[in-house]
Structure 1
Amino acid sequence: MRVLIAPDKFAGTLTAVQAAEAIAAGWRRQAPGDDLDLAPMADGGPGFVDVLHAALGGELSAVTVSGPHGSPVPAVVLRVGDTAYVESAQAAGLHLTSGPSGSDSGDVGTGDAGTGHVETATSAGVGELVLAAVEGGATTVVVGLGGSGTNDGGAGVLAALGATADCVLDGGPAALAGVTSVDLAPARARLAGVTLVAASDVDNPLTGLFGATKTFGPQKGLAEDRIAEVDGWLESFAAATDRRTSLEKGAGAAGGIGYALLALGATREPGIALVAEAVSLASRARAADLVVTGEGAFDFSSRAGKVPYGVAGIASEALRPCVALAGQVLVGSREMRALGIESAYSLVELVGEERALGAPAEALADLAARVARTWSR
C-alpha cells in the first residue's frame, strides 16, 4: 500500500518534517511493507522556509533582523534561482513576543530581550528580510505569512523598506494613532523591478469585524477592551495609505503584514497552494492509495487556508481518502467530512495531554501505528 504523509507542524512541539517522520516511524512499525512518501507541508506560517528548502533545495543565507521589540533575531533567506523565500514568523513571530499561543498560529517562546505588548510590537524585521532578499539579487520575493505576534498593519515592513509618514511607522500600532499621511513612493522605488508574492494562510481583511485585530489580536495578548481602539488606529493607517487595499482578502494576514505587501503591489497566493505546487503534491496524491495529514489542533478554522483542508482537497481531486492525525480533534464527524477528512484521530485522547506535550514524537508515532491498523491493507 502506498501512503502519502503530508502533515503541517504541530505548533509548539513538532516541525512539519519531524511530524512526518514520527508518523512514518509509527506506521512502519505496524505496516512495514507499506510504501511511505513523506511530504511535510506548510501554509505560510512557521516552517514555510524549511519545508520549501526540503522540497526545492536552493541556498540558505543567514541574516540578522529586528525582532518585534527591537532586539536582533536570526532568520534565513532561501534562494532558488531568481526567487527568494522568507518567513514572516522568523522576524515577527508569536514566539518572539509575550503573547499567548493561538491561531494565526505560532509557538510561544521566551521572546526577544525587549519583549513587550502587542501594541508596541513592530513588523520591521519582515521588511528587513525582504530587503535582504532583494539586495541578494532576487527578482521575486515570496513572503510566507502566519504565526505573527504583531498587529501593526505592516507599518514596520513599510518603514524598513523606506516609506515615511507623519508618525513613527516602526513603533507598533500605538505609534499610528493620529496618522494622516503615509508616503509609499520610497518603498516602491526600492522594490522597482521586484515581484512580491504574499503567501497567506488567512483571508481576513485588515480591519473590522473579521479583521486582524478582532480575529487574532486576543491570541497575541490584546485585551478585549483594547480591540476597538487598536482597530481604529489601523483604520486611520489604512485611510492614510490605501483604504481599498485594506479590504482585500489576506490584508489582515500576519497582523496586517499582508496589507503592507499588497499596498506595495504584491500578488496574493494561498500558502498551502504554493507549497503544494512546490512539492508536487497532486501527482504524489494520485500515486498513493491513502493520504495522511495532520496539525496541532484540528478544528473548523482549519477550513481557512490551513494545511489539512488543502491536503484533503488535493486528495479528493485525486479520488483518494484522506485521514488526519492531530494533537486535538475539535470537530464532529459531520464537520470533519465537510473538511474532506474521512477520519481524524486525537493524540491527547490516545496518550493524554502530558505525554502528548512531553514526548510528542513518540506519542505521534504510537497514534500513527494505531491508525495504520485500521487503514493499512
Structure 2
Amino acid sequence: MSPSVVVALDSFKGTISAADAVAALAAGWGSAGAVDAVLRPMADGGEGTIEAFATAVAGAERHPVRVTGPAGGPVEASWLLLPGTDDAPRGTAVVELASTSGIELLGERRLGLDADTTGFGQAIAAALDHGVSRLLLGIGSSASTDGGVGMLRALGGEFTDNFGEPVAPGARGLERLASAHLDRVRRPPVGGVKVLTDVTNPLLGPVGAAAVFGPQKGLDADGVARAEAGLARLAKLMQVPFYEPGAGAAGGTGFALLAWGAQLVPGAREVADLVGLREAIASADLVVTGEGGYDSQSAKGKVPAHVAALAAEAGVPCVLVAGRIGDDADTSGFRAAVSLTDLAGSPEVASAEPARWLREAGAVLASKPL
C-alpha cells in the first residue's frame, strides 16, 4: 500500500508559489516510488495566500481586478471568492496585499517613503462591491510603511494636511498629516473581517513597523526616523492604541485594519483551518512542510512551525524541506530536514530552478526510511 503523505509547503518567496512547490515535490516523490500525495499548499498571509486557497478549496472563483500598485502604476491582480457557507451565505473574499501592494511587484526597486497601499484598498472595495459576507485579508509582503492610509483612502477615508489638502501617498505623506476622517469609510461586511498576519509587532517603537521592517523596504536611518514620526502622527489621530500586537504588520496596515474593526489572527493557523489541514494529517503516514528560508524566526508563527505542531498533535512524523536552513535553525522537531541549497550546491542554483530541486527533494525523501 502506498504511503499517504500530506505536502503542506509555504511559497519559497520570490522563486516559486506554494501551489507549484507542493506539486513539484509530490512529482519528485512519485517518480521515485508510489505515493498517495495529499497537496495542501500553505500560506501565512503573505505571497501565495490566494493560490493556497484556490488550490485547496473546491469551487473557489478568481475575480480579476486592476489596481494602483505600490509605485503608482496599474497592476493586474485578482481576489478570490470562496463558496458560501451557513455563516457567510454570499461567500468569503480572500484579498492579498502581496499581489496588489506587495514588495515583489517592485522587482529590485525599493521605494522607501513613497510606496503605499492604495491597490490593496481598491481590491477590498471590489470585493465589497460584489456583496461578500466576509473578508479574509492577507497582509504579508508589504512594500510600504504608510500605516495603511492608502488602503483606507481607497475605502473612502480622507487624510489631509493643515490646509485641508490630501497628503501625498506613502510614509512621505504622513509627515504633513494633520487630520484623518473615517466617517465615510465603507463599512465592513456583516460577517466581519479577519486579517492573516505572521507578526505581532506594534506600530511604533524599537520593534515597530518602521524600525524593524523599514530597512527591508528601502528606508535608511533617516527614512526610518521620518516614517516613525509620521506613523506617530497617524496614531494620535486614530482610535487604536499603537501598541496593539500586529498593529505594525505590513508597514502599519495592521493598525489601519484594526481601526476599521478587523480582527488580526495568526495567518498560518487560519489558512490551515480553512483548507482542512488537520483533517488531512489525521489519516496521513507522513507530513512534509517547509518554506524558502528556515531559520530561528521560523518558529514564531511561520507555516512550518504550525504544520509541525499539527503533525505532532496527531502523532504523525513531519519532515522539513527548505530552500536554505540557517545555522541558527532548530530542526530537532522534524524527522528529517532537506535543504535545496545543499542539494543544488549553492543558493543561486537552488533559487534559479526551485521546481527542479523540489522534485529532487521529493525523490530523496522517497528513498529514505521515514
TM exceeding 0.5: yes
Aligned residue for 1:207?
A: 204
Aligned residue for 2:54?
A: 53
Answer yes or no: is the 8 Å Cα contact 1:155–1:169 preserved in 2: no
Moved more, 194-203 or 283-292: 194-203
Aligned residue for 2:343?
A: 350
Moved more, 248-257 or 43-52: 248-257
* Cα deviations by residue, 1:61-88 (Å, 9 ceiling, x for unpaired): 1010111121110111211222111101
Q: Which runs of 5+ in 2 are unaligned?
A: 85-89
Answer yes or no: is the 8 Å Cα contact 1:44–1:145 preserved in 2: yes
2:66 to 52, 64, 67: 64
> Equivalent residue of 1:68, what SS?
coil
Q: Which runs of 4+ in 1 moved over 6 A?
A: none
1:326 matches 2:335: no
Answer yes or no: is the 8 Å Cα contact 1:155–1:170 preserved in 2: no
Q: Which runs of 5+ in 1 are unaligned?
A: 98-108
1:128 CA displacement: 0.7
1:223 to 220, 223, 238: 220
Aligned residue for 1:35?
A: 36
2:266 to 267, 270, 293: 270
Answer yes or no: is the 8 Å Cα contact 2:135–2:189 preserved in 1: no
Whichever residue aligns with residue 210 of structure 2, its letter is T
Aligned residue for 2:331?
A: 336
Whichever residue aligns with residue 306 of structure 1, its letter is K
- Going from structure 1 to structure 2, the CA distance change for 1:61 and 1:283 (only over 3 Å counts) comes to same
1:331 CA displacement: 4.1
Distance in 2 (CA, whole Å) between partners of 1:61 and 1:259 is 27
Distance in 2 (CA, whole Å) between partners of 1:316 and 1:147 is 29
Distance in 2 (CA, whole Å) between partners of 1:269 and 1:375 is 37
* Cα deviations by residue, 1:100-122 (Å, 9 ceiling, x for unpaired): xxxxxxxxx266xxxx6220111
Aligned residue for 1:125?
A: 119
Answer yes or no: is the 8 Å Cα contact 1:159–1:169 preserved in 2: no
Whichever residue aligns with residue 267 of structure 2, its letter is G
1:365 to 353, 359, 367: 359
1:89 CA displacement: 0.8
Distance in 2 (CA, whole Å) between partners of 1:21 and 1:349 is 21
Aligned ranges for residues 1-377 of structure 1 at < 5 Å?
1-30=3-32, 32-56=33-57, 57-80=59-82, 81=84, 82=90, 83-97=92-106, 109=107, 117-167=111-161, 168=166, 171-187=169-185, 189-191=186-188, 193=190, 195-244=192-241, 246-332=242-328, 335-337=330-332, 340-353=333-346, 354-376=348-370
Answer yes or no: is the 8 Å Cα contact 1:296–1:328 preserved in 2: yes
Distance in 2 (CA, whole Å) between partners of 1:272 and 1:156 is 26
> Equivalent residue of 1:186, what SS?
coil
Distance in 2 (CA, whole Å) between partners of 1:33 and 1:194 is 44
Answer yes or no: is the 8 Å Cα contact 2:117–2:149 preserved in 1: yes
* Cα deviations by residue, 1:116-167 (Å, 9 ceiling, x for unpaired): 6220111011111111000011121111110111111101111111111333
Distance in 1 (CA, whole Å) between partners of 2:334 and 2:123 is 36
* Cα deviations by residue, 1:215-254 (Å, 9 ceiling, x for unpaired): 111111211342222112111111111341x221221111
> Equivalent residue of 1:76, what SS?
strand
> Equivalent residue of 2:100, what SS?
helix
1:209 CA displacement: 1.3
Distance in 1 (CA, whole Å) between partners of 2:326 and 2:176 is 42
> Equivalent residue of 1:75, what SS?
strand
Distance in 2 (CA, whole Å) between partners of 1:259 and 1:272 is 20
1:363 CA displacement: 1.4
- Going from structure 1 to structure 2, the CA distance change for 1:257 and 1:16 (only over 3 Å counts) comes to same
Answer yes or no: is the 8 Å Cα contact 1:123–1:170 preserved in 2: no
Aligned length: 355
% same residue? 40
Root mean square deviation, CA, Å: 1.8
